[in-house]
Amino acid sequence: MSGIFLSGSGAVSPAGWGQEKLLAALRGGELPPTQTIERPGWTRPLTVRRVPAPSPRPAWAAHARMRRAAAISQFAMGAAAEALRDSSGGSLGIVFCTTCGCVNYSRRFYDEVLRDPTVASPLLFPETVFNAPASHLSAVLGTAAANYTLVGDTGVFLHGLALAAGWLAAGRVERCLVVAAEEADWIIADALRHFRKSATLTEGAGAVLLTRGRTAGAFAELECVTDPEPFATRGRRSLRADALQRVATGLPTGLAATGDASCMGEGFSASTVWQVLAAIDTARRSPLPRAMVCVPGAYQEAIGASFMIHPAEIP
């Protein structure tokens, strides 16, 4: 076993702010409704699932760093705060994972640049960098420890788990938040329709808190993250299935629960963390000793992970 435990988790999704709202929706409850999003130059709007406004407004939203922060940063902070609610003490590292990044501010800023760069807003530009959400997390949580932003395919959250586990094993930090987040924007919905016309873009975040050694609130242990299996270099649909198969053979055998968050829509890295939380939730409820996820990837690679479930009270 790795000795790396999941000691907290959180989620923000179109089902609402909070992991339980996400899991209730995935367990077969009512899916959140879709909304339309205007696409410039088109008469037909695009379809997305958006995160509703939080109610009540969380205390961290008043922090100076969050006032002008983009939605992706707000989602990440919401999930992170939930994952940390029962944790305190010890150095805290942050690994932020994303596929699309800070799209909304990037699109808005570039639009202004194209119109007239002399008046493009300097308030927007800093929020376009991939690591802006991670920076806000560090500032609001008050941790100056190491902080990485990973950019990758849909399964990048699992890369983040592996990186965080390495930090913990090496003693770089005593706790590590791994967060994945995405935000919806017409430009992403537009890009998605080139590949899957019926796909619904979604947005949100998920977070897990990893610790070295089992803490009081630990509910699962990271068993393994597989090597990624690339498929895009050959680019055919059948080879994605082959890559998934290779990932599956790299995972432990035996009874395991799996998770599926695809009914929420395409949320890229956020979908993966929701899938992990759903798998662990299913395993804890069944109960099954293990939760596993295989992530097919959107454009590059398949990857998987396995978690050993520890007995705990079912909420």
**Which residues of the chain form contacts with another protein (CB under 8 A)?**
39-42, 65, 94, 99, 101, 106-107, 109-111, 113-114, 116-118, 120-122, 125-132, 134-136, 138-139, 142-153, 156, 159, 162-163, 166, 169-170, 172, 187, 190-191, 194-195, 227-228, 230, 232-233, 299-301
Share of the chain residues as helix, strand and coil, in percent rounded to the nearest 5: 35, 25, 40
Nearer to another protein by Cβ, of 138 and 282: the residue is 138
Q: Smallest distance, Å, CB 71 to another protein?
A: 16
In angstroms, the CA 304 to CA 178 distance is 16
Decide: 307 and 6 in contact? Cβ < 8 Å. Answer: yes
Q: Which of 114, 239, 133 is nearest to 177 (CA)?
A: 133
Which residue lies nearer to another protein by CB, 162 or 256? 162
Which token pair is 90?
Answer: 């010890």
CA atoms within 13 A on the CB side of 253: 1
- The minimum distance between CB 130 and another protein, in angstroms, equals 4
Looking at the Cβ atoms of 87 and 125, the one nearer to another protein is 125
Which of residues 139 and 248 has its CB atom nearest to another protein in the complex?
139
Q: Which helix (H) or strand (E) holds 105?
A: helix 103-115
Q: What's the closest the beta carbon of residue 81 comes to another protein, in angstroms?
A: 17
Q: Give the burial class of 220: count Cβ atoms within 10 A of its Cβ; 0-12 exposed, 13-18 middle, 19 or more buried.
A: buried
CB of 162 to another protein, least distance (A): 8
Measured in whole angstroms, the distance separating CA 114 from the mean position of its chain's CA atoms is 31
**Residue 235 vs 315, nearer CB to another protein:** 235
Q: How far is the CB of 23 from another protein (least distance, A)?
A: 29
Instruction: Tell the smallest beta-carbon distance from residue 132 to another protein (Å).
Output: 6
Please say which residue, 121 or 286, places its beta carbon nearer to another protein.
Answer: 121
**Shortest distance, CB of residue 271 to another protein, whole angstroms?**
16
Q: Please give the structure tokens belonging to residue 240.
A: 């994605």
Alpha helices in 194-257 (DSSP H): 237-249
What are the angstrom distances between the C-alpha of 2 and each of 7, 28, 118, 133, 276? 14, 33, 54, 29, 17
Can you name the residues that pair with 95 across neighbouring β-strands? 148, 178
Q: Which is nearer to another protein, 17 or 186 (CB)?
A: 186
DSSP tag of 166: H
